[in-house]
């Protein structure tokens, strides 16, 4: 076994590899860019090496820097994770030429599966079923159009390189073929530097089902059953599960045998995934699945396979790469229960799943799994970390396991509803809606399900009066930047000094909301809301919420409602400009007085410091003038108390 390995990746997969390596007694080296200097994977690793600026082309895609870092630290092998250089055969050549071990397949195996058209021709020779279509080298438009007619419309034009749905067009009619081909070629050229395409039969109700395979250097290849990855948006996976719902023994046998045959055809060693497209229009049948492509690396969704087979695929990778045989034979690998993985992203589902950025001011996952289930959180971030525009906006993978699909699905819904994230727009509400969708719940899923139901899945009900009242309560204490999560105890404390009645203002979307928070003698809070709510709400229990700079987020199930809280100190200028007094924007203690009665002051001059909720706030003059009255140092004041009164003579 290796003594030390370098992980040529970042984020959750780097953390994932580090955990297994540590359990096995293998030391780890992290690499990081400028943006990741304080990242979790850097903190977790035994050593870390800086490899360049934030853009991936100057850091995580620089194979020369990664190899140099490996040699400099004395590591023996490189784990590529997924993405970045994980399927780059030239990088594998660099690694092996330096006398190091690449924890993955050979460069020859990667090249064999690197281009879709060549891979499909290879699979045809190996006897693996491929989608009916044209996978040849000739690219003349007349030939491609004629092949499309032979295949029969609708057809799918696909870039032969890359993935992620780029360079892909569905064509319903021959008259639309030319324009669709041009668009696919332009997109493929821009994304992959290769505008060549293949043309295939479009499957009406496609299921994306893949098989996890694993090989060693002794010629052994096993499968670890299948995963269903049909729940996709923009050709990107959202929720994966294992095993596939509705899977029949006949299809599983045919599909897993084909997957093993595919891996053996290229002398595969390491973790790999054979992806199939399945025609589910008439149920799952053994003669209605076809090879799409092979991912010659560990998949993002590998945890669901680990959950249902009781394996650690990263441990298998390390053992096989170090020269050991596969840890288990095929007969020793059994399925148990059902697992789901939900990918939690910083993205705006309502705006077409646009990636989002921001600081994760509040990040809280469930402490325990729902009863009867198990759960794991795969993440590479912590509270306070930023979602960078340089990398994939994944926050975490929430993985659950139950005794059957229904139990696992219920655990998924509960776990999503207990997840709290504030500081960036996230997709937890969308994931929960998808998990609760009637078709998805029934296992009637295909790659078009999210697109058909997108409006309903991404719609979020406006906040109720109770949610708004909870936000107002949280914001009404000592300003929007106070870090507390418990406004109940903090607000109640002020009742010793003054009657509870506080004004606050919130903003939700385009709505400005005014509220008056009061505390009743029995300890309950009442929040009176102005338009558009026009209601009074009694709050009897502490809500789930998070406060972060000038915001409050209230959690209701898997939805996080974020309210902007206008900075009361900033509003002091607005309220007092041109007026004869400055009022306290919040309850607090006059900690320090810096001016005196009768003193002439100028606009912007600090006059006193107000302490509230363990934070100090400077109150400054909003205009030139002479002080007629000023608060006494040490005075306890309430919201709206006059702190400074100016003489009536000219100001402005």
Instruction: Name the pTM for this structure.
Output: 0.81
Tokens representing 91 are: 């990088």
Closest C-alpha among 338, 355, 324, 481 to residue 425 = 355
Q: Of residues 131 and 336, which shows the higher confidence score?
A: 336
Q: Who has greater pLDDT, 537 or 319?
A: 319
Q: For residues 7 and 66, what is the distance between their CA atoms, to the nearest angstrom? A: 9
Query: Helices marked H in 495-599 — which ranges?
Result: 568-576
- CA dist 481 and 552 (Å) reads 9
CB 363 within 8 A of CB 382: yes
Name the helix (H) or strand (E) containing 395.
strand 394-402
Residue 108 CB coordination number (10 Å):
12
Q: Choose between 434 and 618: higher pLDDT.
A: 434
Give tens-digit pLDDT for 337-387: 999 999 999 999 998 888 888 899 999 999 999 999 999 999 999 999 999
> Which tens digits make up the pLDDT trace of 218-261?
999 999 999 999 999 988 899 999 999 999 999 999 999 999 99
For residues 496-505, average pLDDT: 66
- The Cα–Cα gap between 34 and 54 comes to 5
> Which strand (E) or helix (H) includes residue 292?
strand 289-295
DSSP output for 423-464:
SS--SHHHHHHHHH-HHHHTT---TTHHHHHHHHHH--PPPP
* pLDDT given at position 365: 97
pLDDT at 488 over 70: no
φ, ψ (nearest 5 deg) of residue 62: -90, 90
Half-sphere exposure of residue 84: CA atoms within 13 angstroms, side-chain side:
28
Question: Catalytic amino acids?
Answer: 297
Burial class (CB in 10 A: 0-12, 13-18, 19+), 608: buried
Q: What per-residue confidence (pLDDT) applies to 588?
A: 72
- Report d(CA 6, CA 73) in Å as an integer: 9
What's the pLDDT score for residue 352? 87
Residue 5 DSSP SS3? strand
In contact, 612 and 589? CB cutoff 8 Å? yes
């Amino acid at each position: 076994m290796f003594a030390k390995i370098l992980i040529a990746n970042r984020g959750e997969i780097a953390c994932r590899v580090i955990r297994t390596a540590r359990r096995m007694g293998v030391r780890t080296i992290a690499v990081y860019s400028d943006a990741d200097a304080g990242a979790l994977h850097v903190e977790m690793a035994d050593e870390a090496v800086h490899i360049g600026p934030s853009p991936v082309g100057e850091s995580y895609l620089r194979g020369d820097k990664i190899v140099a870092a490996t040699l400099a630290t004395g590591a023996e092998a490189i784990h590529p994770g997924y993405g970045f250089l994980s399927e780059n055969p030239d990088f594998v050549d660099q690694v092996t030429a330096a006398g190091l071990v690449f924890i993955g397949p050979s460069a020859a195996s990667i090249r064999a599966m690197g281009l879709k058209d060549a891979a499909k021709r290879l699979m045809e020779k190996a006897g693996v079923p491929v989608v009916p279509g044209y996978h040849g080298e000739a690219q003349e438009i007349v030939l491609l159009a004629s092949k499309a007619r032979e295949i029969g419309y609708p057809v799918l034009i696909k870039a032969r390189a890359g993935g992620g749905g780029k360079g892909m067009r569905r064509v319903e009619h021959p008259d639309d073929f030319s324009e669709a081909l041009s668009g696919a070629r332009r997109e493929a050229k821009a994304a992959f530097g290769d505008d060549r395409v293949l043309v295939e039969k479009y499957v009406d109700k496609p299921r994306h089902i893949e098989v996890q395979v694993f090989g060693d250097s002794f010629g052994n290849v096993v499968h670890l059953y299948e995963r269903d990855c049909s729940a996709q948006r923009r050709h990107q996976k959202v929720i994966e599960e294992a095993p596939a719902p509705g899977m029949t023994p006949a299809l599983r046998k045919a599909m897993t045998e084909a997957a093993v045959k595919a891996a053996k055809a290229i002398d595969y060693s390491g973790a790999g995934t054979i992806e199939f497209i399945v025609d589910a229009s008439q149920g799952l049948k053994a003669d209605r699945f076809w090879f799409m492509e092979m991912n010659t690396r560990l998949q993002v969704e590998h945890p669901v396979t680990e959950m249902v087979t009781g394996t650690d695929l990263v441990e298998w990778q390390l053992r096989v790469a170090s020269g050991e045989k596969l840890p288990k034979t095929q007969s020793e690998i059994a399925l148990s229960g059902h697992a789901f993985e939900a990918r939690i992203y910083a993205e705006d589902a309502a705006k077409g799943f646009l990636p989002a950025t921001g600081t994760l001011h509040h990040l809280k996952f469930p402490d325990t799994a729902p009863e009867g289930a198990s759960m794991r959180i795969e993440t590479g971030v912590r509270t306070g970390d930023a979602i960078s525009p340089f990398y994939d906006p994944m926050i975490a993978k929430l993985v659950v396991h139950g005794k059957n699909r229904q139990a696992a699905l219920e655990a998924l819904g509960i776990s999503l509803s207990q997840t709290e994230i504030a500081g960036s727009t996230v997709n937890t509400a969308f994931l929960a809606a998808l998990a609760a969708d009637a078709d998805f719940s029934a296992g009637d899923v295909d790659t078009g399900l999210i697109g058909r139901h997108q409006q309903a899945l991404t719609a979020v009900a406006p906040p109720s009066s109770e949610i708004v009242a909870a936000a107002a309560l949280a914001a009404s204490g000592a300003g929007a930047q106070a870090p507390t999560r418990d406004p109940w105890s903090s607000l109640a404390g002020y009742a010793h000094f003054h009657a509870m009645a506080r004004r606050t203002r919130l903003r939700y979307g385009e709505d400005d909301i005014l509220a008056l928070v009061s505390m009743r003698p029995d300890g309950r809070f009442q929040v009176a809301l102005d338009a558009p709510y026009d209601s009074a709400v009694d709050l009897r229990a502490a809500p789930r919420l998070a406060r972060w700079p000038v915001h409050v987020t209230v959690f209701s199930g898997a939805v996080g409602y974020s309210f902007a809280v206008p900075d009361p100190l900033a509003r002091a200028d607005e309220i007092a400009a041109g007026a004869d007094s400055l009022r306290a924007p919040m309850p607090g203690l006059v900690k320090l007085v810096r001016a005196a009665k009768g003193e002439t002051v100028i606009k912007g001059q600090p006059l006193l410091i107000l302490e509230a909720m363990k934070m100090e706030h400077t109150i400054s003059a909003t205009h030139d003038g002479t002080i007629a009255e000023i608060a006494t140092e040490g005075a306890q004041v309430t919201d709206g108390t006059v702190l400074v009164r100016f003489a009536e003579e000219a100001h402005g």
